[in-house]
Amino acid sequence: MTDYILALDQGTTSSRAIVFDRQGQVRARAQKEFRQIFPQPGWVEHDALEIWSTQSGVMQEALSSAGIRASDLAAIGITNQRETVVVWDRRTGQPIHHAIVWQDRRTAAFCDELAAAGHTELFRRKTGLVLDAYFSGTKVRWLLDHVPGARARAEAGELCFGTVDSWLVYQLTGGQLHVTDASNASRTLLYDIHTGGWDDELLAVLDVPRAILPEVRSSSEVYGTTSPGLLGAQVPIAGIAGDQQAATFGQVCVDVGMAKNTYGTGCFMLLNTGTEAVESQHRLLTTVAWQRDAQRTYALEGGVFVGGAVVQWLRDGLGIIRSSADVEALAASVPDTGGVVLVPAFVGLGAPYWDPYARGTVVGLTRGTTAAHLARAALESVAFQSAELLEAMQQDVRRSGTAVSEVRVDGGGSVNDAMMQFQADILGVPVVRPQVTETTALGAAFLAGRAVDFWADDAELRSLWRVDQRFEPRLGADERAARLGTWKRAVERSRDWARPDHEGALSV
């Protein structure tokens, strides 16, 4: 009897593996951080081989911790940091360069060139995305242009491009599969979300050869099995979704109008719009949430580039806390921020600004400012950024009569009660935290489990989702508006700060 699903959750700062049982409960988990590589300001890279070694290591560790064998698994589901680009040799499996991470800004100047050439509307119309260095397409172009011989090898079919899901599947299957799913494909600037395929016009504009691309598959189907010698049993790989889409599915936001917010390295809000790809009037993204049985479900998305990463900065950059868990007590030791506002635009600003040249800013400092005030301002910055996303979403869907009645939350930051209460206060709608906050991994497990009939239908998934705590808003409308107004003043002071040089590096 196969009573478990293994979810591989490959994130920006760590690789994780979680074993779920039939009740959707965590039976075991394992996690390992890996290096963050910063070759120069605004550039962020990962070692793709290290990603695989940490992911394969925690996979084995989670099975051992659960006291089960691979033969006890019904399927494996994969969720991953999105937009991060790996290019590798199709025959040897060796990457040709470090992975270029979604946070990386090296192609910001190229995106400006594309916009100046009049391509903004083309990309918006076909991909639902804005022209920004965040997405994969310009990163692929950079690798092909800057790694010696890469372009010729790509055109000859010798190289594979993939987001991290593709890289993991390639490794899990011993190089037998080069695939991705529709949710990850929709983040590349190369995929038409309306037709459901790679688009020749987009490929031509970005000068990316079709021969390098993976096959696009559903988010919930059996793609293949793990290679025979990897786990001791051949396990079906049956679910793939980008981390934020997986979290939306793990929160069982399967109905139109349901929204979730994930607090991870970044902070991402998605609103299910069903089979309609809603065009945002407020610079949100229109994205594929998932594809099942050849039907695509769409979502509006807003992304905060620096969410939980601001706490890591307090820990590693400033040294004012010893562990990330210490931030809640430090922030709670003062009643407010003392007038301090922190805008963590360390790698630019995402929606609704899309300003790659914004940089981190702290305003309101006085001689009375303490580490506690800064910690509290850091936590509040995450909530303020999320509030701007919800405000834009509500305006976009209002014309269709859709209203957001609550926001389901997950991810590491969601366990912080004080921050979740402030989030509800500043959103103006209830914030609901489920009992299982590992919803990114759970979404990958749900997608894989549905593909192999481990769970019968969406109704069964709904029954497995249970509330842990509900945070009701307590701020009045006037005070909420005043707080948001102060935040927006601070954001304006962070904007358009860095400038690209002719090589794409950023400087003041």
Report pTM: 0.86
Give the span between the Cα atoms of 264 and 11, in whole angstroms. 9
From the annotation, which residues make up the binding site?
Answer: 12-14, 16, 82-83, 134, 243-244, 265, 308, 312, 412, 416
Could you tell me if 504 and 106 are in contact, meaning their C-beta atoms sit under 8 angstroms apart?
Answer: yes
Residues in a beta bridge with 299: 272, 287
Question: What confidence score (pLDDT) does residue 37 get?
Answer: 93
Strands, DSSP E only, in 123-266? 159-162, 179-181, 191-192, 197-198, 215-217, 220-225, 236-242, 259-263
C-alpha triplet 374, 302, 191: angle, nearest 5°: 140
Report the pLDDT value the prediction gives residue 339, as an integer from 0 to 100. Answer: 94
Q: Domain 4-243 has what CATH class?
A: alpha beta
Specify binding-site residues for sn-glycerol 3-phosphate. Answer: 12, 82-83, 134, 243
Residues 6+ apart with CB under 8 A from 503: none
Strands (E), 103-255: 159-162, 179-181, 191-192, 197-198, 215-217, 220-225, 236-242
pLDDT at 65: 95
Residue 281: what pLDDT? 87
DSSP letters spanning 145-162 = HHSTTHHHHHHTT-EEEE
DSSP per-residue letters across 367-431: TT--HHHHHHHHHHHHHHHHHHHHHHHHHHHHTTT-----EEEESGGGG-HHHHHHHHHHHSS-E
Q: Provide the residue-wise pLDDT of the chain in tens; the chain has 508 residues.
A: 679 999 999 998 899 999 999 999 999 999 999 999 999 988 999 999 999 999 999 999 999 999 999 999 999 999 999 999 999 999 999 999 999 999 898 998 899 999 999 999 999 999 999 898 989 999 999 999 999 999 999 999 999 999 999 999 999 999 999 999 999 999 999 999 999 999 999 999 999 999 999 999 999 999 999 999 899 899 999 999 999 999 999 999 998 889 999 888 888 899 999 998 988 888 899 999 999 988 999 999 998 888 888 988 999 999 999 888 888 899 999 999 999 999 999 988 888 888 888 999 999 999 999 999 999 999 999 999 999 999 889 888 877 677 788 899 988 888 888 889 999 999 999 999 999 888 999 999 999 999 999 999 999 999 999 999 999 999 999 999 999 999 999 999 999 898 765 444 544 3
Annotated binding site for ATP: 12-14, 265, 308, 312, 412
For strands 14-20 and 26-33, give the pairing: antiparallel
pLDDT at site 324? 83
Question: 134 near 350, Cβ under 8 Å?
Answer: yes
Q: Backbone phi, then psi, for 300, in 5-degree steps?
A: -90, 140
Binding residues for glycerol: 82-83, 134, 243-244
In the chain, what are the domain boundaries? 4-243
Distance CA 265, CA 305 (A): 8
Which amino acids are annotated as binding site for ADP, given as ranges?
12, 16, 265, 308, 412, 416
Residues forming a β-bridge with 7: 18, 77
Residue 328 C-beta-side C-alpha neighbours within 13 Å: 12
